[in-house]
């Protein structure tokens, strides 16, 4: 079995984890995303450069779910992160690291209820996130975006 690892597509992807929720902005697409609970925990593990095998192992230690359910749902979550261009797969630096890791520090006294990680996507701020204040402003300056019509040739110029 090949050990896989994902890394965040920085610098175009920025994120912050606040109170068990991760908020992720993709500055290329203008979309922002949110994930609660296990989704935020998995994102933190991706930030720590843990492999997929490590993340699955840590999830099974922390949450009450079968190995099959964890594998299937995490695969779907990783696929979604890749589809949204938030992470990319890279070669694992140390394929045996997952077996050597001491997981005792991650084992809670009681396992938490497992909920499938979900990624919510929002597009309502695309115009703001994609606005280039240096190049996309009109004569009035920031924060007024350039009127696209001002970039078009005038009617007289078209007819002339």
Q: What is the per-residue pLDDT across 129-145, written as a single tens digit (0 to 9) for each? A: 776 655 555 666 555 55
Specify the pLDDT at position 6: 96
d(CA 60, CA 14): 28
Q: Tell me the CA distances in angstroms from 106 to 6, 41, 54, 86, 148, one per residue in order.
A: 20, 12, 11, 26, 54
The first and second tokens of residue 149, run together, are 């019509």
Q: Residue 39 belongs to what H/E stretch?
A: helix 38-47
The first and second tokens of residue 87, run together, are 């992470």
The first and second tokens of residue 144, run together, are 């007024």
Specify the pLDDT at position 97: 58
Specify the pLDDT at position 116: 97
Q: Tell me the CA distances in angstroms from 147 to 15, 66, 124, 129, one per residue in order.
A: 31, 56, 20, 17
Taking phi first (over 0 means left), then psi (-120 to 50 degrees means alpha), and beta for anything else, what does residue 53 get?
alpha
Specify the pLDDT at position 63: 95
CA-closest candidate to residue 119, choices 89, 88, 90, 82:
82
User: Which residues does 31 contact at the CB level (< 8 Å), separation at least 6?
Assistant: 25, 84, 121, 122, 123, 126, 129
Query: Tokens 């490590």 appear where?
Result: 54
Let me know: does 33 contact 121? Beta carbons within 8 Å. yes
Positions of the chain with pLDDT lower than 50, given as ranges: 1, 98, 100, 150-160
Specify the pLDDT at position 110: 87
């Amino acid at each position: 079995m090949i050990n896989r690892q994902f890394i965040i597509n920085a610098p175009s992807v920025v994120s912050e984890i606040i109170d068990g929720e991760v908020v992720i902005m993709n500055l290329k697409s203008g979309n922002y995303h949110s994930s609660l609970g296990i989704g935020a925990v998995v994102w933190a593990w991706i930030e720590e450069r843990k492999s997929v095998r490590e993340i699955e192992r840590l999830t099974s230690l922390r949450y009450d779910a079968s190995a099959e359910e964890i594998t299937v749902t995490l695969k779907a979550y990783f696929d979604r992160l890749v589809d949204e261009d938030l992470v990319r797969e890279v070669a694992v630096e140390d394929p045996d690291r997952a077996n050597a890791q001491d997981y005792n520090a991650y084992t809670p006294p009681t396992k938490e209820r497992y909920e499938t990680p979900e990624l919510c996507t929002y597009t309502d701020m695309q115009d703001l996130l994609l606005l280039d204040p240096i190049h996309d402003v009109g004569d009035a300056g920031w924060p007024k975006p350039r009127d696209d019509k001002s970039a078009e040739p005038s009617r007289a110029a078209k007819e002339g």
